[in-house]
Amino acid sequence: MSDLRLGYLNSVQLIGRLVADPELRYTQKGAPVCDFRIASSRRYKNRETGEQQEETLFINVVAWRRQAELANDFLNKGSAVLIEGRLRSRQWESAQGEKRSAIEVVARRIQFLDLPPSGTTTTEPTSDSDEELKDDGAVDTPF
């Protein structure tokens, strides 16, 4: 239980659909990085009215290296994905001098859910690192 003590576990699993096409870019050192956003919903029953309700969250996801390239090549708006990763907080200053912040998921593993199971292979995710350039976890490849 040494690493599972309060405050040491940062793990996320989400299923959702891309709300726009992914955007691939490269760092100054040439490492591919892909940003995309997913919508993930949950349904529940309102205790007061008994009616079914739906809540949708929009989550930013970042993928690195080969995983970024595969996400860019095979995902598009509407694609269903399962994301396993960790949360990361970023802060920056806008062009107008306003302080901004965001929480996003750094993907360790992306599973493409719209592809037929017989046409995909799954590899085990690699261990996470604090350096984003080493966040090149496994991806289900579509061939």
Tens digits of residue pLDDT in 54-110: 999 999 999 999 999 999 999 999 999 999 999 999 999 999 999 999 999 999 999
- For residues 78 and 129, the model is more confident at 78
Confidence class for position 131, pLDDT limits 50, 70, 90: very low
Domain locations along the chain: 12-134
- Identify the residue whose tokens are 């970024």: 68
Tens digits of residue pLDDT in 17-58: 999 999 999 999 999 999 999 999 999 999 999 999 999 999
Of 59-68, 84-93, 111-120, 133-142, where does mean pLDDT reach its minimum? Answer: 133-142
Residue 128 is classified by DSSP as P
Query: Which CATH architecture describes the domain 12-134?
Result: Beta Barrel (2.40)
- For residues 60 and 119, the model is more confident at 60
Pull the structure tokens for residue 89.
């907080």
For 3, 5, 12, 43, 54, the CA distances from 57, given in Å and listed in that order, are 29, 28, 14, 12, 10
Quick one: pLDDT at residue 118?
Answer: 56
Quick one: pLDDT at residue 8?
Answer: 80
Angle subtended at Cα 83 by Cα 79 and Cα 88, rounded to the nearest 5 degrees: 125
